[in-house]
A and B are shown apart, each in its own frame.
Chain A
Amino acid sequence: MSVGRITLWPMSTTAAVEAIDLVKHFGDTHAVDGVSFVVPEGTVLGLLGPNGAGKTTLVRMLTTLSVPTSGTGRVAGHDIVREPIQVRRSMGLTGQAATVDELLTGRENLKLIGALYGLPRAYVREATERLFDRFDLTYAADRQAKTYSGGMRRRLDLAVSLLAAPPILFLDEPTTGLDPHSRSGLWAVLRELVDEGTTLVLTTQYLEEADHLADEIVVVDKGTVIAAGTPTQLKDQAGRASVVVTLTHAADVDAAADLMRAHSPEVHVERSSRRLTAQAGGLSDMTRIAAVFEASGIELDDLGLARPSLDDVFLHLTGRRAEAQPGAETATDASTDATPEGATP
């Protein structure tokens, strides 16, 4: 279980975004209750949590849409409460619902936002061509956005957010409601942006998405941070890894189970699939078990180390599954195979 301890936020780099004890109450509801984190320049922070955890409220405060009840934050070094205009100049926001203007054409949407930024017309024209080309929207540039598919709207929304080339981009559930194909396409675009040096702060309910994109993950539940770290750190925290062995011959199952019990107290046997799972501390346990099988002459199809998924992490932290929230848009999510086995860490 030893991935070299990476310091959570290396202090040497400059912070692009900081949340400093942010609090937001709506009447008696404590939507956000004292959240702090730091996002170094050029990295991706994933805010992970179920519906209603406070992720959107956090993003709304950091992007100056919502005024914190207390606490503050900094975006590109500017205070979100005292210097909102500076903050707005330094960041782009892609909100939860694609906020493109449906009655305007794609091109007009960019023209509108360009005029509101006060960008030179020539730049807006040039940037529109470039962004539409990059997001494969050129063929639809002069069509009203209401004729766009969900994925096209998200891309247009992202193009709008990128028009002023912000060094920091906030994305609130960027892929919610997208089909898996559009989702992976959007992920590719986001990674390109990171490669170019953009700092991303994204919220998501999808563990897979956080795992895939984020350098650091902050897990939020009921308005507070319940865990933070790299995806690997969080997985380590959730529980131990296990060694999974698949035998070539069903006849070897009992002998193999005995062998493994000698090294691990808990061995789970699935006779039908010739699969044995043993609790393990990490890589060293795996190599030891591999050596034992090598010596025993029992033939193996496969041997590997299974780490807990972020889904297990969430379950471990909150006692609930992350994606089984009522009303959550998980219909398109292919998470059905990632379920109950190992549900109790």
Chain B
Amino acid sequence: MTAVRSQPTTLSPTERPPISPPSLLRAASTIVWRNLIHIRRMPEMLLDVTVQSVMFVLLFAYVFGGAIAVDGSNYREFLLPGIMVQTMVFSSAVVAMGLTSDLQKGFVDRFKSLPVPRPAVLVGRSISSLIHSSIGIAVMAVTGLLIGWRIRNGVVDGVLAFLLLLLFGFAMIWLGIWVGSLMRTVEAVQGFMFTIMFPLTFVANTFVPTESMPAWLRAISEWNPVSALTQACRELWGNGLPAPADAAWPLQHAVTVSIGWSFLLTAIFAPLAVAAFRRRSRD
């Protein structure tokens, strides 16, 4: 602090610059800009959706894969949609950790002291998390193409599957905002999210066909929203057979059901998330 200058620059309050509070969209895009700089400055933030996911692909494709029999497809094609869904589910952890860190470090406070629409923090955070997860999906797709995964049913269905993933990611983001608003530290969020994410993505058809599971576990797996989405992607991309005739109802209508789940989960978690964030930001 040696040289705080005592030159005569004034900030006389009578000469205030024009303040024109931004719209929700402009404020949100400013926050997206800031969050993307974070990713660029700390590329290791992307490890969870890049290196880790690639490792998962390679691990399952080459270590476990040989021992897992899949009807009507090779295991790598079966695996890829599952891993992509897992990546989208982890969006919720990404958004939760980001939000908690902003709350913890006082960024949300700083933001709240500005004349800005308050939902902008959440909207900006959601968009940047979707971008974050999309980068992961893109990395997965390239890895998949290299090891033999293909989109076999044409462009329209191919794109539809990606849209289903994004829609589900959107639902998961609300779960993340809810958890992020309730928890006090990034470490707590991380611990909690990984505890629920692993059963959610493993007790499903993501990595193995459900037919080989004990009946009760199979029922749980097939009603798991993650399974419907995985099945939908497999069908739309042509990675494997339709669900077996004795599979639970959601798998028989995988595309419709996965859209339904996304809307239902959003309808449940969005109000909880907004309420929790409001409560957190009132104090």
Contact = CB atoms under 8 A, between A and B. Distances in A.
A303 interface: no
Contact of B20 (A67, A99, A118, A133): A118
A99 B105 contact: yes
B1 A186 contact: yes
Interface in A112-170: 112-113, 115-120, 123, 127, 130, 133-136, 144, 151, 155, 160, 162, 164-167
A345 interface: no
B282 A66 contact: yes
Contact of B1 (A123, A127, A184): A184
A333 interface: no
Contact of B21 (A85, A91, A101, A184): A85
Contacts of A136: 1-5
Contacts of A104: 34, 37
Contacts, number: 137
B11 A196 contact: yes
B12 interface: yes
A198 interface: yes
A181 B1 contact: yes
Contacts of A93: 109-110, 113
**Residue from B2, B19, B107 having most chain A Cβ neighbours under 10 A:** B19
Nearest to B21: A118
B253 interface: no
A89 interface: yes
Interface centre among B113, B114, B115, B282 (most CB of A within 10 A): B113
Interface in A173-216: 181-182, 184-186, 188-189, 192-193, 196-198
Contacts of B26: 115, 118
Contact of A115 (B2, B15, B22, B115): B22
Contacts of B22: 115-116, 118
A133 B21 contact: no
A323 interface: no
Given A95-B106, A196-B10, A185 B4 contact: yes
Interface in A88-104: 88-89, 91-93, 95-97, 99, 101-104
A250 interface: no
A151 B4 CA distance: 11
Nearest to A85: B115
B272 to A, nearest CB: 20
A150 B81 CA distance: 48
Contact of A99 (B10, B11, B37, B106): B106
28 contacts: A65-B281, A67-B282, A85-B115, A89-B21, A92-B113, A99-B105, A99-B107, A99-B110, A101-B34, A102-B105, A112-B30, A112-B33, A113-B110, A115-B30, A117-B19, A117-B21, A118-B19, A118-B26, A119-B20, A134-B7, A164-B16, A165-B12, A165-B16, A181-B1, A181-B2, A184-B1, A185-B1, A196-B11
Kindly list the 10 A-B residue pairs having the minimum CB-CB distance in the complex, ordered from nearest: A185-B1, A167-B13, A99-B106, A118-B20, A99-B110, A88-B115, A93-B113, A182-B1, A115-B30, A136-B3
Given A116-B116, A134-B5, 15 more contacts: A65-B109, A85-B21, A88-B115, A89-B19, A93-B113, A103-B41, A113-B110, A116-B30, A119-B17, A119-B20, A123-B17, A151-B1, A165-B11, A165-B15, A185-B4
Interface of B: 1-7, 9-22, 26-27, 30, 33-34, 37-38, 41-42, 105-107, 109-116, 281-283
